[in-house]
């Protein structure tokens, strides 16, 4: 039987960064609340252990997430934002860059950078995923950060 290597949903110690975009802040605020709730439920007090770093829009998330991850100060970086299609083609560029950029930030630094950015067609869909009908993507991102930070420790990274 294979030896299982996996992270636990436990406090891995250390600090966390949330990188949050102000654009659509009525949605992003709910994601932050969900994320902090997930961390708090696992014994991590946001006032003591979490830095909340604001950026203007989702497009700016990758650079700042990479800078935070490269600082060596954080067990994981959690990016939170909301890109809503509406009627502008701007959506496609912003959504593509933030998803690619967050992946690069993680791969470039070896630190988990969690993708908690909503990409939706409508405001209603974003509301659904920010603490109403379809859960809270910020909460999920907080849980993913815990598991990944723990997994990095298990793997000796
Ligand atoms: N930024 C978002 O975070 N969400 C959006 O829905 C959005 N739209 O649709 O335009 C958005 N645009 C701003 C972008 O992220 C940058 O801040 C801006 O282009 C300056 O670089």
Ligand 1 atom closest to the CA of 98, numbered from 1: 15
pLDDT for res 87: 60
88 Cα: distance to centroid of ligand 1 (angstroms): 11
Pairwise CA distance, residues 6 & 155, whole Å: 9
* CA torsion through residues 103, 72, 144, 6, sign: positive
Instruction: Give how far Cα 92 sits from Cα of 9, 21, 28, 87, 120, Å.
Output: 34, 17, 19, 11, 11
Place of tokens 């298990």: 154
pLDDT at 17: 98
| Per-residue pLDDT in tens (0 to 9) along the chain, 157 residues | 999 999 999 999 999 999 999 999 999 999 999 999 999 999 999 999 999 999 999 999 999 999 999 999 999 999 999 999 986 778 999 999 999 999 999 999 999 999 999 999 999 999 999 999 889 999 999 999 999 999 999 999 5
pLDDT score at 3? 95
Instruction: State the SS3 of 131-145.
Output: EECCEEHHHHHHHHH
Residue 31 resides in a domain:
yes
Domain CATH code at residue 92? 3.40.50.960
Is the CB of 81 within 6 Å of ligand 1? yes
Q: Is the pTM of this model over 0.85?
A: yes
- Which atom of ligand 1 is the closest one to the Cα of 91? 9
Output the residue whose Cα is nearest ligand 1's atom 5.
Answer: 83
Question: Does residue 5 sit within a domain?
Answer: no
Domain annotation covers residue 75 = yes
Residue 8 lies in a domain: no
Whether residue 9 is contained in a domain is answered as no
**Where in the sequence is the domain holding 45, given as residue range(s)?**
15-154
**42 a catalytic residue:** no
Domain count within the chain: 1
Indicate the top mutation candidate among 58, 81, 99 to test ligand 1's pocket, ranked by most ligand atoms within 8 A of CB: 58
> Would you say 79 and 113 are in contact if contact means Cβ atoms under 8 Å apart?
yes
- Please indicate, yes or no, if residue 99 is contained in any of the structural domains: yes
Ligand 1 binding pocket mutation candidate from 19, 94, 119, 127 (most atoms within 8 A of CB): 94
Q: What is the pLDDT of residue 157?
A: 59
Residue 105: the pLDDT is 98
Q: Determine, yes or no, domain membership for 4.
A: no
Instruction: Say how far apart CA 126 and CA 116 lie, in whole Å.
Output: 12
Q: Position of tokens 């791969």?
A: 107
- Specify if 10 maps to a domain: no
């Amino acid at each position: 039987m294979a030896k299982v290597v996996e992270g636990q949903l436990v406090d891995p110690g250390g600090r966390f960064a949330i990188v949050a975009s102000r654009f659509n802040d009525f949605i992003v605020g709910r994601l932050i609340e969900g994320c902090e709730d997930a961390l708090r439920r696992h014994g991590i007090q946001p006032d003591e252990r979490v830095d909340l770093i604001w950026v203007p829009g989702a497009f700016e998330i990758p650079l700042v997430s990479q800078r935070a991850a490269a600082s060596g100060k954080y067990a994981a970086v959690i990016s939170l934002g909301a890109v809503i299609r509406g009627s502008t083609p701007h959506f496609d560029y912003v959504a593509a860059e933030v998803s690619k950029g967050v992946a690069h930030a993680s791969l470039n630094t070896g630190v988990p950078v969690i993708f908690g950015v909503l990409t939706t067609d409508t405001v209603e869909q974003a509301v659904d995923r920010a603490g109403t009908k379809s859960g809270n993507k910020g909460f999920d991102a907080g849980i993913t950060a815990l598991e990944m930070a723990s997994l990095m420790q298990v793997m000796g990274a």
